[in-house]
Amino acid sequence: MNKNLRWLVLFAPLVLFLLLAVFLLKGLGSDPTKLDSALINEPVPNFEAADLYDTSIVYDESVLKGKPILLNVWATWCPTCRAEHEFLNQLASEGIPIVGLNYKDDSRGKAVNWLNTLGDPYTINLFDPEGEVAFEFGVYGAPETYFIDEQGVIRYRHVGDVNARNWQSTLKPIYEQLKQEAQ
């Protein structure tokens, strides 16, 4: 066997292993809730989406303007969405406006039943069965929550569930700042 080929055969697996180890270690040190979004400080994308309850009503991006609002991406197939749902109901009862984006549910009826059973914290429910609207927002999966100012500009993106702990420590101050800026 050629001397150069022997070195390649001996060291190629080692080099591949080292590259894979570096890649995996980098991933272990990252925060999965800190996904970059190119839309931060940009206007919400243009979209059209039917109302979850009434298909004759079609909304566009203007429903996300006029006051600070949360856009919550959720689905009935998402266990984390179910876990955060009770807290979203609590926020809605405190007057925090939340628009729901029902993401990739194949059945409108299943989504409506889910809200009828667990409560509906949303001022508006957008139905996005193909994930087209979510794609425009850069959604990776559910749940994700976008904080949008009164001008319709995305100011913050939260990946994962909204709960009492992260609301108090991070999310509420962001929402309160948006409210102050709107006055």
Distance (Å, rounded) from C-alpha 22 to C-alpha 90?
A: 43
Q: For 116-161, what is each residue's pLDDT tens digit?
A: 999 999 999 999 999 999 999 999 999 999 999 999 999 999 999 9
Q: Are residues 102 and 18 in the same domain?
A: no
Q: Are residues 7 and 72 in the same domain?
A: no
Domain of residue 76 covers 42-182
Specify the pTM: 0.81
For the chain, what is the domain count? Answer: 2
Q: In the predicted model, what is the mean pLDDT of the chain?
A: 88
- Asked, for residue 35, whether it belongs to a domain, the answer is no
Mean pLDDT of 59-80: 97
- Asked, for residue 36, whether it belongs to a domain, the answer is no
Q: Give me the DSSP letters along 96-140.
A: --EEEEEES-S-HHHHHHHHHHH----SEEEEETTSHHHHHHT--
Contact between residue 147 and residue 182 where contact means Cβ atoms under 8 Å apart = no
Running DSSP on this structure, what letter comes out for residue 165?
H
pLDDT at 24: 55
- Asked, for residue 97, whether it belongs to a domain, the answer is yes
- Asked, for residue 122, whether it belongs to a domain, the answer is yes
